[in-house]
Structure 1
Amino acid sequence: MFSTPAVVASCVGFVLIGVLQALYGPAIPALRDAFGLSPSAAGLGLSAHFIGGVAGVLLFDRLHERLGNRRILGTSYLLMALGAAGFALAPNWPAGIAAALLAGLGFGGIDYGLNQLFAVGFGHRSAAMLNILNAHFGIGAILGPALIAAVGAEHYPAVFLAFAAANLPLVLCLRGVRDRAPQPASGATGTASTAGTTDPSGTTGAEAGGSALSRSLASVLAVFVTLYVLHVGIEAGVGGWEPTHLETVGYGAGAAATATSVYWLMMTVGRFLVAPIALRHSAQTIITVSCAGMTVCLLLASVPWLAPYAYAGVGLFIAPIFPTGLLWLNVAAPRARRAGALVIAASMAGGVAAGPALGKAIEWSGVRAVPLLLCAVSALCLLATLWLIRATRSHSPSP
């Protein structure tokens, strides 16, 4: 699927989408000064980015068969570049929101396109390569705020323009991407063991079991979507509320901010660390251990003196779930072509919904309950994973 330069360019592409997502927050003070915005109005830039991201995933999934991989990725890089440049040069805030939406559209196309290609493009190494790819997103998410801090928030237009220019050389590397992904073999589906059987009435196994398999596939996809919404909700919830929780239990603002940075760093490190593990262990095993470890760490985070270290552990354990889950989904439902787009879009929706949902729960229970609330959500992730293991095993072809 990829030449070596195309693999490198894809990793750079994920650094860039990590940078883009992380630029909006640090730019908020300057945006408020430039356009006279309230905090909630300034936050609409990131919301528009996520809305564009969901739309980009779903749109490019619909157009994938018609356009092919190279045109999907090339168009997405150009949309990100145009949106970022438009955001930098926007004369007013409505224009800035429209530009963020446009950049988000390209963001969604890159997120969807490269994740799907890496899930099928490296054979038994796909899980490892997916984790490496998504680790580069974390590198970008760390670099984005650092860039704004280095130049000053008031110079955010220069950073966005530099980001826009950085997208353009990647378009030249798309020749090394195969335009069409290989189709899954028919035996890879759960219908393999029933497709050729016939009962005494002359009805084939495929005809008799097709409806049940369709219902089963729908259930599997629904639980995968649930797993993605919940785990991204935890990811965003820890990132958003860890500083507040730590300050509430007695830590200083600087220590709380540093601990949150360590959480994001551990998420990036975790994806690099799991790459060699993914060559020896199944996606199911990795995600089960990840969900269990995440649940334990969130429970420990309710103990004040353990909290910073426990949150770092959450980052380490949550790291492999997103990329490794995509490979598991691709194996469990190889013929459900839109399954990957659905769960990637769901992950973005989970990030959007996490803030208001967790905020309401905290209003009821108090800030000290943040780790316990997230622990309950993590336990649901573990239950969803165990259900998926059972469901996908029951429909695997016999050896």
Structure 2
Amino acid sequence: MPDTSTAQEVKHIRPTPETRVFSPVAVVASCVGFVLIGALQALYGPAIPAFRDEFGLSPSAAGLGLSAHFVGGVVGVLLFDRLYGRLGNRRILGTSYLLMALGAAGFALAPNWPAGLAAALLAGLGFGGIDYGLNQLFAVGFGHRSTAMLNILNAHFGVGAILGPALIAAVGAEHYPALFLAFAAANLPLLLCLRGVRDQAPQPATGATGSEVGGSALGRSLGSVLAVFVALYVLHVGIEAGVGGWEPTHLETVGYGAGAAATATSVYWLMMTVGRFLVAPIALRYPPRTIITVSCAGMTVCLLLASVPRLAPYAYAGVGLFIAPIFPTGLPWLHAAAPRARRAGALVIAASMIGGVVAGPALGKAIEWSGVRAVPLLLCAVSALCLLATLWLIRATRSNSPSP
């Protein structure tokens, strides 16, 4: 039975004017907010040479800036999850924007590296609050369009991730303080748009995403379902970070020049952004389980093809296209599968950040054993695990309702 018929069985819950979570202005402001958090995360790496010159840092010490940002992000997700439903959505988002602005400004003006790390941690705290808060609200705030809107929201993160390094390249790494200050200032106008955010969002309800019916898992405990969702997020973000970090080295190892390898990696990130925009209309017709299954299968095939040197740059671009919908599309599926597990969204978002942190050292150790040429095959094995996790979740969250 095709998935489209399953989706059509569900009576979609469309937000009425009284229950609408975002005004049109607030939707636009939220997308701008995701551009800003994408740019912030992407600014640290290209600015590392300037950090090292200014503070006399080793490469590993300079890399702690992004690590502090991610640590703050995980803490921000977990902290604001505890406050979700208590403070109100406007206060949570407003506090997050202010923390991110203060952290970015503090990083730009830091007199020494410890102060810079503290500021990066503060900026990451706000980053985590915005990432969690907006993803959570978009997952429940648009009825059957939530999956499509989440993909559009997260596509704007990719726009920022592309924009950040481009700005560093345009003005020079030595001028990174000006960019961080400009970023901090750009957060402030978004505070004025928070009046268009409903202070108390509706709770996720059965069928609210237009995908899976109900929250009961067939013979599976809720804990098992959440554990597999977390595993899926850790693994797929590990692949995302692994390709972004090791694609240039792998391509150079198999014979491509440094310039071609760098360009191919940029195309990979671009395809991730394009993929999220492209899947938005598809998400209106097909349920999340179908989209994620196709994404994991396509990602696995592309990583296998990336082991062929002649195909590698194109295959990595395909990985970017297929991996793009997994993060935003999985959240509505999770909310439908576990509507009573209030902290489920926070767990998988925090897991995605942890996956990005752990991927580098874990993949690096595996490469020490097997060599750089094995990078796509190692990632292919991880992608196959993502596909197996998805198939398990399909069985575990399938509706008890009979198919027509």
Deviation per residue, 1:303-327 (Å, 9 max, x gap): 0000000000000000000000011
Does the 8 Å CA contact 2:220/2:396 hold for their aligned counterparts? no
> Residues 210, 252 of structure 1: CA spacing in aligned structure 2 closer, same or farther, 3 A cutoff?
closer
> Residues 188, 243 of structure 1: CA spacing in aligned structure 2 closer, same or farther, 3 A cutoff?
closer
> Residues 20, 188 of structure 1: CA spacing in aligned structure 2 closer, same or farther, 3 A cutoff?
closer
> Residues 311, 212 of structure 1: CA spacing in aligned structure 2 closer, same or farther, 3 A cutoff?
closer
Report runs of 4+ in structure 1 exceeding 2 Å deviation: 183-190, 206-215, 394-399
Structure 1's unaligned 5+ residue stretches are 191-205
User: What is the rounded CA distance, in whole Å, between the counterparts of 1:292 and 1:373 in structure 2?
Assistant: 15
CA displacement at 1:90 relative to structure 2? 0.3
User: What is the rounded CA distance, in whole Å, between the counterparts of 1:147 and 1:43 in structure 2?
Assistant: 20
* 2:78 counterpart SS class: helix
> Residues 159, 316 of structure 1: CA spacing in aligned structure 2 closer, same or farther, 3 A cutoff?
same
**Does residue 82 in structure 1 map to residue 87 in structure 2?**
no
TM-score, normalised by the number of residues in structure 1: 0.92
> Residues 209, 156 of structure 1: CA spacing in aligned structure 2 closer, same or farther, 3 A cutoff?
closer
CA displacement at 1:181 relative to structure 2? 1.1
Which entry has the higher C-alpha Rg, 1 or 2? 1
> Residues 214, 78 of structure 1: CA spacing in aligned structure 2 closer, same or farther, 3 A cutoff?
farther
User: What is the rounded CA distance, in whole Å, between the counterparts of 2:32 and 2:361 in structure 1?
Assistant: 32
> Residues 188, 26 of structure 1: CA spacing in aligned structure 2 closer, same or farther, 3 A cutoff?
closer
User: What is the rounded CA distance, in whole Å, between the counterparts of 1:396 and 1:345 in structure 2?
Assistant: 33
* 2:307 counterpart SS class: coil
CA displacement at 1:76 relative to structure 2? 0.3
> Residues 243, 212 of structure 1: CA spacing in aligned structure 2 closer, same or farther, 3 A cutoff?
closer
Deviation per residue, 1:65-91 (Å, 9 max, x gap): 211110010000000000000000000
Correspondence 1:130-141 to 2 at 5 A? 130-141=150-161
Does the 8 Å CA contact 2:95/2:126 hold for their aligned counterparts? yes
User: What is the rounded CA distance, in whole Å, between the counterparts of 1:243 and 1:166 in structure 2?
Assistant: 32
Deviation per residue, 1:5-38 (Å, 9 max, x gap): 0000000000000000000000100000000000
Deviation per residue, 1:340-396 (Å, 9 max, x gap): 000000000000000000000000000000000000000000000000000001567
Does the 8 Å CA contact 1:233/1:350 hold for their aligned counterparts? yes
> Residues 7, 302 of structure 1: CA spacing in aligned structure 2 closer, same or farther, 3 A cutoff?
same
Deviation per residue, 1:206-252 (Å, 9 max, x gap): 99999998961100000000000000000000000000000000000
**Does residue 39 in structure 1 map to residue 44 in structure 2?**
no
**Does residue 284 in structure 1 map to residue 292 in structure 2?**
no
Aligned counterpart for 1:122 among listed residues 128, 142, 163: 142
Deviation per residue, 1:141-181 (Å, 9 max, x gap): 00000111111100100000000000000011000001111
* 1:25 counterpart SS class: coil
Does the 8 Å CA contact 1:189/1:334 hold for their aligned counterparts? no
Does the 8 Å CA contact 1:189/1:332 hold for their aligned counterparts? no
Does the 8 Å CA contact 2:143/2:208 hold for their aligned counterparts? no
User: What is the rounded CA distance, in whole Å, between the counterparts of 2:253 and 2:212 in structure 1?
Assistant: 60
Over aligned residues, Cα RMSD in angstroms?
2.9
Does the 8 Å CA contact 2:268/2:319 hold for their aligned counterparts? yes
Q: How many residues align?
A: 384
* 1:336 counterpart SS class: coil
Does the 8 Å CA contact 1:189/1:335 hold for their aligned counterparts? no
User: What is the rounded CA distance, in whole Å, between the counterparts of 1:211 and 1:277 in structure 2?
Assistant: 26
Does the 8 Å CA contact 2:225/2:393 hold for their aligned counterparts? yes
Bigger shift: residues 389-398 or 230-239: 389-398
* 2:374 counterpart SS class: helix
Aligned to 1:199: none
* 2:216 counterpart SS class: helix
Deviation per residue, 1:84-132 (Å, 9 max, x gap): 0000000000000000000000000000000011001111111110000
User: What is the rounded CA distance, in whole Å, between the counterparts of 2:72 and 2:269 in structure 1?
Assistant: 24
> Residues 397, 95 of structure 1: CA spacing in aligned structure 2 closer, same or farther, 3 A cutoff?
farther
Aligned to 1:226: 231
CA displacement at 1:184 relative to structure 2? 3.7
Structure 2's unaligned 5+ residue stretches are 1-20
* 1:180 counterpart SS class: coil
TM-score, normalised by the number of residues in structure 2: 0.91
CA displacement at 1:398 relative to structure 2? 9.2
Aligned to 1:162: 182
**Does residue 274 in structure 1 map to residue 279 in structure 2?**
yes
Bigger shift: residues 364-373 or 66-75: 66-75
Does the 8 Å CA contact 1:19/1:144 hold for their aligned counterparts? yes
* 2:22 counterpart SS class: coil
> Residues 251, 334 of structure 1: CA spacing in aligned structure 2 closer, same or farther, 3 A cutoff?
same
Does the 8 Å CA contact 1:76/1:106 hold for their aligned counterparts? yes
Bigger shift: residues 119-128 or 368-377: 119-128
CA displacement at 1:183 relative to structure 2? 2.3
User: What is the rounded CA distance, in whole Å, between the counterparts of 2:201 and 2:22 in structure 1?
Assistant: 10
User: What is the rounded CA distance, in whole Å, between the counterparts of 1:338 and 1:254 in structure 2?
Assistant: 44
Q: Percent identity?
A: 91
Does the 8 Å CA contact 2:140/2:203 hold for their aligned counterparts? no
Aligned to 1:294: 299
Aligned to 2:258: 253
CA displacement at 1:52 relative to structure 2? 0.2
Does the 8 Å CA contact 2:42/2:161 hold for their aligned counterparts? yes
Does the 8 Å CA contact 2:212/2:336 hold for their aligned counterparts? no
Aligned counterpart for 1:109 among listed residues 120, 129, 132: 129
> Residues 188, 127 of structure 1: CA spacing in aligned structure 2 closer, same or farther, 3 A cutoff?
closer
